[in-house]
Amino acid sequence: MTDQAASASKLEARVSQLRCIGCGAVRESEATNVRCAQCGDLLEVVYPGWETSAGMRAAGLDASGLKELWRQRRTSYDALDESGVWRFREVLPALSDWNHVITLREGNTPVYELPGCGRAAGVQQLYAKHQGMNPTGSFKDTGMTAAASFAREGGFRWVACASTGNTSASMAAYAARAGMRSLVLIPQGQITWGKLSQALDYGAVTCQLKTDFDGCMRVLDEVAQRMPVYLLNSVNPYRLEGQKTAAVELLERFEWRAPDHVIVPGGNLGNSSALGKAFLEMKDLGLISALPKLSVIQAEGANALVRTMCETGGKKLISVHAETMATAIRIGSPASWKKAVRVLEATGGTVEQVSEVEIALAKAEIGADGIGCEPASAVTLAGLKKLVKRGFVKKNESVVLILTGNLLKDPDFTLKFHRGDLFAGTAQEEEAESVLTPRQHAPMVLDASANTVVKVLQHAERAEP
């Protein structure tokens, strides 16, 4: 085969298609409609060339070759290689022109050991992959670089999303980088100021709707049918392809031996679906030999997936009226529930729900390990404690928590926590006081005198366990 013919066949083998998860209808990738034209269900990206070993060879998808290529790219200053998403472009849908990629050098996020949290949960090997260390402070950037690049390639002038805050911050940033306009629909009074201020700074047209997240989604669906805007919510299949790379990075960090458990917060369920898809694909491609169990944790007040699994065995979505202080996951009718059920079943994972007090305690424990995260991410640790008690996670197994958002995304929650105000006037006030007080470090207002500060220091020294 000539060089030209070989690279043409490589490209062909790498071509992706969009397949409906409901009726299975397939069409070639294109960045227009994010739902199936026939039945309205969600689409997913599939790679037909991967289905045969000849196809995989033609696409250059040899496991050890890929590992080496991805490792080498870490020393490159090429924008695509510097991105922790596009560094793995062999397992992503290809753009017709790589110059369309919009990157903020997302991904490449750290994996930290969590010794204090490990003790609290009762496991010996506990790690956090901190997706809150992405450019806009959340995991959304890894998906946004992919989907926004496809929007640019599709020639869209407007991109749009409904959001609990992080998606809007991320989308607005990527749109601004490419000179696209962005429309953000957020539930009024239900997203944090930090996230809202990001969308404003990046120039989004920001509408605070008098409804919840699920209501914003409904309005957006209608807007997208009437106006030429490209939807960048996680129903967008390209978003999930980008978000897959966090799992690939994680496996690379563990030298291609999967941890026993990966634990993810669940909201609209795009992230768990994406990570699960990646683990399954990495196994199919021979990059790992065993899958991690992927489990999803939700807040008790926004527990649609937990109820769906427990009450219908994952067959029928049970929507709920969502209520939680972890505003990022205040979602009652998760769009990607079918995809999430599939990866839970395929990896042997489970679901769990956690209370508001459990979330607040876990967040403080993650902070005390010198890491920190936003409340929605802390459900992972709170959930892990319950999975250990249930015996689902054994104490000698390795566990990775996916921390999805940065501590600075929601300073209000943290301040109220340390001032002891978080549960004031609620039914959980008493419980919160007994469980959370030892973790609180309220700021002190003092006279500007060294004597006073020295006294505080001496008192703190004596009080330390």
Q: Tell me if residue 231 falls in helix, strand or coil.
A: strand
Binding of residue 324 to ligand F0G (CB under 6 A):
no
Binding of residue 353 to ligand F0G (CB under 6 A):
no
Whether residue 374 contacts residue 410, with contact meaning beta carbons closer than 8 Å, is answered with: yes
> Closer CB to ligand F0G, residue 50 or residue 417?
417
Binding of residue 271 to ligand F0G (CB under 6 A):
yes
Binding of residue 401 to ligand F0G (CB under 6 A):
no
Residue 299 phi, psi dihedral angles, 5° rounding: -70, 145
> Closer CB to ligand F0G, residue 149 or residue 404?
404
- Ramachandran area for residue 325 (φ above 0: left; ψ -120 to 50: alpha; else beta): alpha
Nearest-approach distance from CB 331 to ligand F0G, in angstroms = 6
Give, rounded to a whole angstrom, the gap between the first and last alpha carbons of the chain: 71
Candidates 93, 187, 242, 265: give the one binding ligand F0G (CB under 6 A).
265
Binding of residue 164 to ligand F0G (CB under 6 A):
yes
Whether residue 282 contacts residue 259, with contact meaning beta carbons closer than 8 Å, is answered with: no
Euclidean distance between CA atoms 442 and 430, whole angstroms: 18
List the Cα angle 6/9/11 in 5-degree steps: 110
Nearest-approach distance from CB 246 to ligand F0G, in angstroms = 11
> Closer CB to ligand F0G, residue 95 or residue 303?
303
Residue 293 phi, psi dihedral angles, 5° rounding: -85, 125
Nearest-approach distance from CB 426 to ligand F0G, in angstroms = 22
> Closer CB to ligand F0G, residue 361 or residue 407?
407
> Closer CB to ligand F0G, residue 117 or residue 379?
379
Euclidean distance between CA atoms 96 and 88, whole angstroms: 16
> Beta-carbon neighbour count of residue 51 at 10 Å?
11
Whether residue 13 contacts residue 58, with contact meaning beta carbons closer than 8 Å, is answered with: yes
Q: Tell me if residue 334 falls in helix, strand or coil.
A: coil
> Closer CB to ligand F0G, residue 138 or residue 333?
138
From residue 89, alpha-carbon distances to 57, 146, 247, 350 in Å are 16, 10, 14, 30
Stretch near ligand F0G under the rule CB under 6 A, chosen from 6-14, 91-99, 110-118, 268-276: 268-276
> Closer CB to ligand F0G, residue 13 or residue 362?
362
Stretch near ligand F0G under the rule CB under 6 A, chosen from 43-51, 110-118, 122-130, 263-271: 263-271
Stretch near ligand F0G under the rule CB under 6 A, chosen from 78-86, 165-173, 219-227, 442-450: 165-173
Interacting residues with ligand F0G (CB under 6 A): 138, 140, 163-167, 234, 265-272, 328-329, 374, 376-377, 404-405
